[in-house]
Amino acid sequence: MSSARYGPLMSARSGHPGVIGAPGSGQAEDLRALLRAQRARSLALSAQMQVLYRRAQAAWQHAQATWDQVQASSARRPMPVTRRDLLEHSAYARLVAKVESLPVIEQAKGIIMAESGCTADKAFDALRRASQRLNLPVRDLAASIVDTRSHSAPLPPRPLVHSCPSMDHPDGVGIQG
């Protein structure tokens, strides 16, 4: 009955193509055989569909469980920071540090200018070179100068014709390191 699937309806008795409606062609028997074959294929397809449906359900449940695990683990640890976030925060942090350290640097420049009689640019240049030589940030060196001078006795005034210490002394402002 394999040709019934692909070809014309075959007679169950003779194995030859039958004419539908012809007397003695065995049409009823052929239709019953065809229905049985169709029912068997339908049951097989239904069973396959049920297997595929169960597999799809299991895969969905696995995917959902994996998603829940990912969500739970990301809730426990902080989300990754993007490069842009780091740069923005870093720029902000640098700006805040600069704003906070400017008064101290200006005070240190004033102390250097008062002691040596040089200009603000030369005083800052001396402070910068001393910070490089001592491997200290300018703000830290400036803070140490201000702290040292604020806790010590006032220095006697120097003549204004005296040049900046950075020009006279190779060590810059003459801070002991």
Q: How far apart are CA 159 and CA 122, in angstroms?
A: 17
Residue 136 CB-half CA count within 13 A: 15
Q: CATH number of the domain that 146 lies in?
A: 1.10.10.10
Is the domain of 161 the same as that of 97? yes
What is the SS3 assignment for 17? strand
Q: Which residue has the tokens 């976030």?
A: 85
Give the chain's largest Cα–Cα span: 140
Query: Could you tell me if residue 113 is inside a domain?
Result: yes
| Enclosing domain of residue 162 | 84-168
Is 53 in the same domain as 89? no
Domain count, the chain: 2
Q: Where are the beta strands (DSSP E) in 46-160?
A: none
H/E stretch holding 159: none
68 occurs within a structural domain: no
pLDDT tens track, the chain, 177 positions = 444 444 455 544 555 555 555 555 678 888 888 889 888 888 888 888 888 888 888 888 888 888 888 777 766 666 667 767 766 677 777 777 778 888 999 999 999 998 888 999 999 999 999 999 999 999 999 999 999 888 776 656 555 444 555 444 545 444 443
pTM here?
0.41
The whole-angstrom separation of Cα 140 and Cα 113 is: 18
177 in any annotated domain = no
Return the pLDDT at 121. Answer: 94
8 and 49 within one domain: yes
